[in-house]
Amino acid sequence: MLPRKKSDREAMKRPWNGPHPPLMLAPMQGLTNRAMRAVQCDIGQPDVVFTEFVRVSHVARQRITRSDCHEVLAGSDDVPLVVQLIGHTPEALAQATQQVEKLGARHLNLNMGCPFGRTTSGKTGGAMLQQPELIEACLDAVVREFSGSVSVKVRSGYDDPEQIFTLLPLFERSGIDFIVLHPRTVVQKYQGLADHAITARVVVATILPVIANGDIVSAEQGLTLLEESGAAGLMLGRGAIANPWLFAQLRRQLPQADEAQRYRQSCDYLNRLAEEYQRLFCGEHQALGKLKSVLECFSEPGLLPLVKKLRRCKTLPRFLSELQDVGEGE
């Protein structure tokens, strides 16, 4: 394929184009599959959703797996889908980019934040931050091949939270369209809190739009972050997995729910997810496992008794009947 002219790419829209700061559902491996995305779009209507990370093989001829191809194909016309790639070989990333573009992907993101497992033992995800020259080559390969928007999702640094400032010139040169920033370091994993003072400084230091991500669990907190950081938008991860209504609350379309309402909402949401998961996954056991991983994101004290009961369920019918009992008990 001939390299595309940058102007072709610039003519494409970012995944958002409204007057309001976009609210995005984060990419979350094991969670933001197409069933979850459908339920989130139905309940909370995020402006943009991301796939879980799509691993780019540097050995296989088909750079991404068949099941990941299904995820890419599952984009809807209503809510733009960003396909997130994780890989570290420019050639493999260029071929994966061609593969997903042929499948219809319009927006691509490169993962430079994942702090776990194979990703950091190799050179992908957060480990990429140890090799800025590799980042440059990888972004160049993706931007050259792709006609839609390209973005990065990045931590503030590998082990130094100031590292992000040294990467901004590289990002600006690369021709990407926006940055999603999770202001923790890679070695920090999920300890402590996201440091959004860094987000505010990055917003000032770059011409690229910055989407703020990390620890947004209430509308009040998200709106304060938008105002204080000047970020172009917000990305919600665990907060939205626990409470998809958070998107509507951030738009001030819904008031904060009280404890009893949150209990009912959560049961309704888990029931809807259970229906979708039974359609998507093979067998009740897998669907139950996926539902339990959603519970990992529930941290509201008022929901902990429900979470405790549901975690103990050994079968899906038992899980569903607990949800039913709660609904009838109110």
Catalog residues that contact ligand FMN under the rule CB under 6 A. 26-31, 52-53, 84, 111, 113-114, 153, 182, 213-216, 236-239
Taking a C-beta distance cutoff of 8 angstroms, is the pair 247, 236 a contact? yes
Q: Which amino acid is it at 291?
A: L
- Cα(37)–Cα(96) distance, rounded to whole angstroms? 22
Residue 36: phi and psi, rounded to 5, are -60, -40
Taking a C-beta distance cutoff of 8 angstroms, is the pair 246, 295 a contact? no
> What sections of 26-162 are H helices per DSSP?
34-43, 66-73, 90-103, 117-121, 132-145
- Cα(98)–Cα(95) distance, rounded to whole angstroms? 5
Q: Which residue is nearest to ligand FMN (CB)?
A: 237
Q: List the structure tokens of 100.
A: 């997903």
- Cα(84)–Cα(48) distance, rounded to whole angstroms? 13
By C-beta, is 193 or 304 nearer to ligand FMN?
Answer: 193
Cα–Cα distances in Å, from 284 out to 39, 176, 221, 318, 320?
19, 42, 37, 11, 11
Q: Of the residues 41, 114, 138, 267, which is catalytic?
A: 114
Q: List the structure tokens of 150.
A: 């390209």
Q: How far is the CB of 24 from ligand FMN (least distance, A)?
A: 10
Q: How far is the CB of 182 from ligand FMN (least distance, A)?
A: 4
By C-beta, is 33 or 95 nearer to ligand FMN?
Answer: 33
By C-beta, is 90 or 126 nearer to ligand FMN?
Answer: 126
Q: How far is the CB of 8 from ligand FMN (least distance, A)?
A: 27
- Cα(225)–Cα(161) distance, rounded to whole angstroms? 19
Burial of 21 (0-12, 13-18, 19+ CB in 10 A): buried
Q: Is residue 41 annotated as a catalytic residue, yes or no?
A: no
By C-beta, is 27 or 157 nearer to ligand FMN?
Answer: 27
Q: How far is the CB of 84 from ligand FMN (least distance, A)?
A: 6
By C-beta, is 44 or 239 nearer to ligand FMN?
Answer: 239
Distance of CA 144 to the CA centre of its chain: 24
- Cα(208)–Cα(161) distance, rounded to whole angstroms? 19
By C-beta, is 199 or 326 nearer to ligand FMN?
Answer: 199
Taking a C-beta distance cutoff of 8 angstroms, is the pair 25, 37 a contact? yes
Q: How far is the CB of 227 from ligand FMN (least distance, A)?
A: 18
- Cα(218)–Cα(257) distance, rounded to whole angstroms? 11
Q: List the structure tokens of 168.
A: 């901004």
Active site residues: 114
